[in-house]
Chains A and B, each alone.
Chain A
Amino acid sequence: MVEAGRSPNIEILTSARLENLDGKPGRFTAIVHQEPRFIDDDKCTACGTCTMYCPMPVVDLFNERLDITRAPHIDYAQAVPTSYYIDARACLRINYETCNLCAQTCTAQAIDFSQKPRKLNLDIGAVVLAPGFGRIDPSVLKKYGYGRFHNVVTSMEFERLTCASGPTEGHVVRLSDREPLKKIAFLQCVGSRDEICGNGYCSSVCCMYAIKEASVAKEHDPDLEVVLFFMDIRTQGKGFDAARERAEEKYGLRVIRARIPRVDQVDGRLALTWTTDDGKSCSELFDMVVLSEGLSAPKDAEAIAEIAGIELNHYGFCKTCVDSPLVASRKGVYVAGAFQGPKDIPESVTQASGVAAMVSELLSEARNTQTVTLSYPEEDKAIESEGPRIGVFVCHCGSNIAGVVDINAVRDYAGTLPDVVFCRDTLYSCSQDALKGIASKIKGNRLNRVVIAACSPRTHEPLFQETLKSIGLNPALIEMANIRDQCSWVHSQEPEAATEKAKEIVRMAVAKARLLEPLEQTTVDVSPTALVIGGGAAGMTAALCIADQGFECLLVERSDKLGGNLRRLVWTMDGGEASEVLDNLIKRVDGHPLVCVMLEAQVEDVSGYVGNFTSSIVKAGQPVVVDHGVIVIATGGREYSPTSYQYGVNKRVVTQLELEKSLASGKGILKNIKNVVMIQCVGSRGEDMRHCSRLCCTQAIKNALKLKGIKPDIRIYCLYRDMRTYGFSEDLFKEARKRGVIFIRYEPDRRPEVIERDGRIKVRVFDRLLKDEIDISACLVVLSVGITPGANDVLANVLKAPLTPEGFFLEAHVKLRPVELASEGIYVCGLAHGPKPLDESIAQAKAAAAKAAIPLAKGKAQVASIVSRVDKAACIGCGICESLCPFNAIRLFRVNKRRKAETITASCKGCGICASHCPTLAISMGGFTDEAIMAQIHAFAGERCV
């Protein structure tokens, strides 16, 4: 987010809305209306003085109306832009021409009441719609007592209550009397799977977030009793089931399967009454009820659709189809995130990257035509190599630091430290004016090391590094002393101690600054080709997408033809012909001048790093060596092959894919078939594989409906644990129930059995309502077998890539980097990443293609400067560093028969494990050398050090 605020090629237009969109793909004109903020972004230093002085209270919408702020405010401390704004509806100056207190008290003079709304005409090539989701209508919440009973809250409100920076500083209390809670209930499916309110779909995220909120609440207060009411537990995300089981066990969460119809208040507590699926009627009292509200279409969806000229589906979300999930109905307009359908963060992030790839396909000829690249003056090596001349700048940060710490004392103390030749205090060092001042002082005093005593290097170091670069100094020559976030803000009641601490922090920073050395800013050329491993739906989509963006792509497939699992699929989830999707992909792959396909080939060896990989691919026993810049893993998965339920013994027991195949080949299979029993979670969710296979529930229902379509009087039983028809697939589930498919839930400790007697088969299952086992005679048993990973371990070994315990490739970050591996330049998509339906595989393949195209588009890879370096003379070649490096960034090679280690700087992440474990101290870390850290330790000790 901070990155978005800093890029010269991103213009953030806040308080803005689209008013009109004209033109055609590649050439649109958009009119955007922007409301004024009344505070100048460039001048505002986010000190908060305006909020303090403003007399007008307004409800804090960011904190779900649970708190009060003032007309001028910022949504949250780290908001981007990091600038305050004035709520025009409440402001006295704007509405009544009086007050003006904020303008008078703002020392940065950032308040500007002369700002007017403006209209912008933007020339753009494509439009991406990502307006997110809307909230459930309050009238729906009302039947659960929301609005009438204080202690009925929504999940978003609860989220703010548990947040440390929220209105109660993380203390979970009853809103009625601010007393601690003893017992709390979560009600699921509020505003989802609810025909009455019109939201028939499943919101996909509430089950998991309720578990998270419940766990957080338990962490705050271990004695809290938490009860969650589910219909089905839909935690189908990657790793979600495991996380849920851990949480249930660790926190002792009570899970009840029931849907609560209403909430009553009895003696100030909340009464819930329910009937479980084994027929028991129960009632209990709670202190708080959290409504797990679903995601609805954005409030302005219709307006957006009209302006952007796109169609919505029957629930008011953007309309898309299975084989192109990111494309809206108007050409050149794309969609990502929850507007396309309710979804969790990883899927939103995946779609977001995927949509970037699609735009990039459309506009590839115009790439880099409108972007700017910053250029910097040549580095002044002469000044850098002189002895340290340190300048210390001590920041007031308005009153944020100066209100607690004695700035003058710190500044004067800094002047007494060794090698400090200049010190100065600044009001706001990060403001544009101050940065210019700092630059001129550095130049004027021939400073070659700089200490900024202000806020956190995490947020502000890049800004000051930029200043150094702009005047020809190496950006590594700066050190920040964090006297705000870790001093004045946390010791506001102890000004003297805080001042002493600030002095010591500065002393340590100066000690380090004396030893700072310039770090090399290197770039490496990128080999402009991608290697895609696996020729299924995901692999082909990724290869085509990279090629359509203008880069060469080598597609390697192990078998003798393209298609993978898609070949076995007959119908897509929306009933379309899978073969059409397949044929279309193969035709495009074969015809694309930039895609080269290698069949019956396997990747045997990979070396190198992002931008410069070299791989050995073996085809017909012959190795072929290729150079490429990036790797996309799309090796797919396999249908699980069961050994239970008489599968393979009785030919009337088949898998869903086998059923699909025979249905497609003719109706013969249905002759004399009256009863069909489907068994869910065969192999999945703890039976043989731990994970949920995500797609089998929808697949089963799709086939059940197909059967019903062909033979309406057929009886179908579906034995399930949780029906996970998330998102709009819930419609199919509903349809199946309407058409008479019978659903019977089973518990994992009482799985159904397939019994053969006298040539007839029966399925025995425990009926929870009858509390007895029943036998269903079946003409056909269909097993919903899960998805098992392919032989990923071989490739994982070649790539030194980590796998999940289940055997799927492990992404760098489950939520925020869902298609990247920890090693840079390697991406994953499709079933190789985890089980998922076709549309999600396609979106993910596009996302991997976007990520893979980034280094290719840049042409050069910037090598991070904080990297390790091995002193060859001191290295004894023990290999400890190589074995410890989590990024494969150290390799061993031979020099005159001796083994030596070497850092592959492009892969190094600067963690320093190698340096701390080297027995001969041969490895030094840029910016964090042994000497510098030792100097900091000595400066910490001060005079106590002997």
Chain B
Amino acid sequence: MAVETISLTHTYAVGTAFEFTAIKGVTFKTLAHEFIGIIGHTGSGKSTLIQHLNKLLTPTSGSVIVNGFDLSDKKMPMKEIVKRVGIVFQYPEYQLFEETVYKDIAFGPTNLGFSKSETDFLVREAMDFVSLDFEKLKDESPFDLSGGQKRRVAIAGVLAMKPQILVLDEPASGLDPVGREGILRSIRRMNKEIGISIFLVSHNMDDVAEYCDRVMVFSKGELLLFESPNEVFAHADLLESIGLEVPQAKKVLLMLKERGFSVDASFYTCDEAVAEIARCLRQAKPC
């Protein structure tokens, strides 16, 4: 599903001493099935933006259009919006509340009016997508699970509502490298296999480089860049000046280039960097 914003601006506490404009004049257009990364320092407006995508916040000015529907249209029922756009907040495991994993994941679809058998199917499907064993875990208390498993249950709870757009705020933070990769791979599968559009908010540039089709860069409430990872990381100086960084592989290539090495510094993943450096060394080697 495509998402579009036109001059989206949000100001908190209008008319008080605490008035603060969190995002200013943000305009972008995403395509259906895209995997979008959102990066920016703390307080850059990322969270404010994503809360507009399912109308948890309404614009102070400007508009948000999801799949051709303007969210500010009063005729559009909230249920329809929630069905389309699922948001997984930071540390979603804090939102788990039910007695069993099954009940927790079933909460969303039940509230959306899905029948018992439909809900059962959705819970199974969602658990399968986040690699949780249905038979083994359905009757467990979500609070007895490990951190990574709790996180998966929470994501499954949103996935079970069958959103066409899934927004995730730092879904991998606090997880070890293996847990991190597991979650991100699940998200990639949802994107590739069922075509859910993904918005991934992340502080981890390596993850953004690895998984996203296009990346939005926010600073001080403004959308500075919206390009492919390759193009975004070419702006190394700009990223560093707004408190972000480039992937280490990219940094190494840039430093080598600066020292007069004839490397192509447009690569940014580890494997690409190895191949590129090896290529240059091979050229340097007298045959």
Please determine whether chains A and B interact with each other in the same assembly: no
- Report B's interface with A, CB cutoff 8 A: none
